[in-house]
């Protein structure tokens, strides 16, 4: 399905260029009205990211997201700075459909396994932000892309193979916020080798043709941020592309 995305800094909708907090674009939009509009058009879920929390878990915008979730307009998956079980408890109790786990997948992976067991496979999304090097190693970055690791995408997915993990959000950071197009070979590879997972693609969507191409890779969901925010195409057009055979 198509999942519109909104990144939030200090309660405002923004986009970062390749995760760089010094390259911020602010959008003068009303998130509440956008959620209403997308719901009426048939969007099934919204993707929200707390960039303040992602940069520093002590700065989570919990009050703002509590307000947004309380509207009960449309199901929401939300992430950014989720480090502890109580963070998941709070968001799910408020009514979030899914909670997105990022850095803890690397730094506290055994605990994340426990969370999947406790909250169920449909309540947890593992967000894996990757940098692909010259040797095609898909190395994971954490803490809002501020910290590089030597752990690969495949290593992490194999580590969680003995759980009921269902949802994976994979972002090629070289494409995020760039409108350069998605990394099609990446998603073909992931979907081929991890068929049991529901892959969410993210990064670079610039045209309706990108949606057609991603659909053919086998991804279950396409997260779109800047392309919709900057009216490269409409949500109606995006949904039609996804639904067409």
pLDDT over 60 at 245, yes or no? no
92-108 mean pLDDT: 95
Confidence of residue 5 (pLDDT cuts 50, 70, 90): very high
Measured in degrees and rounded to the nearest 5, phi and psi for residue 66 equal -60, -40
Please give the backbone phi and psi of residue 205, each rounded to the nearest 5 degrees, phi first: -60, 120
Q: 221 vs 142, which has greater pLDDT?
A: 221
Query: Mean pLDDT in the chain?
Result: 93
Residue tagged 């995006």 (tokens): 238
The catalytic residues are: 7, 129
What is the span of the domain harbouring residue 96?
Answer: 2-243
Question: Taking 80 as the threshold, does the pLDDT of residue 172 lie above it?
Answer: yes
Share of the chain above pLDDT 70, in %: 100
How far apart are alpha carbons 191 and 237 in whole angstroms? Answer: 25
Among residues 203, 201, 178, 177, the alpha carbon closest in space to that of 188 is found at: 201
Q: What is the CATH number of the domain that holds 182?
A: 3.20.20.70
Predicted pLDDT of residue 142: 87
Q: Is the pLDDT of residue 8 over 80?
A: yes
Tally the domains of the chain. Answer: 1
Burial 17-49 (b: 16+ CB within 10 A, else e): eebebeeeeebeeebeebbeebeeeebebbbbb
Q: What is the mean pLDDT of residues 173-199?
A: 92
pTM: 0.94
């Amino acid at each position: 399905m198509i999942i519109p995305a909104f990144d939030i800094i200090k309660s405002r909708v923004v986009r970062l260029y390749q995760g760089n907090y010094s390259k911020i674009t602010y959008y003068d939009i009303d998130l509440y009205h956008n959620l209403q509009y997308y719901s009426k058009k048939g969007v099934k879920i919204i993707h929200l990211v707390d960039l303040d929390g992602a940069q520093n878990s002590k700065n989570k915008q919990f009050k703002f997201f509590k307000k947004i979730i309380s509207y009960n307009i449309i199901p929401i998956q939300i992430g950014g700075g989720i480090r502890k079980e109580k963070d998941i408890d709070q968001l799910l109790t408020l009514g979030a459909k899914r909670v997105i786990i990022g850095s803890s997948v690397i730094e506290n992976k055994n605990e994340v396994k426990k969370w999947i067991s406790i909250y169920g496979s449909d309540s947890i999304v593992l967000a894996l932000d990757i940098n692909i090097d010259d040797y095609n190693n898909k190395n994971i970055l954490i803490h809002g892309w501020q910290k590089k690791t030597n752990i690969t995408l495949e290593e992490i997915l194999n580590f969680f193979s003995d759980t009921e993990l269902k949802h994976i959000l994979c972002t090629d950071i070289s494409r995020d916020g760039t409108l350069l197009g998605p990394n099609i070979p990446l998603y073909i590879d992931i979907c081929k080798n991890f068929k049991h997972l529901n892959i969410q693609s993210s990064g670079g969507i610039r045209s309706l043709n990108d949606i057609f191409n991603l659909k053919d890779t086998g991804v279950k969901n396409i997260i779109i941020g800047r392309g919709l925010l900057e009216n490269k195409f409409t949500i109606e057009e995006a949904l039609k592309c996804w639904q067409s055979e």
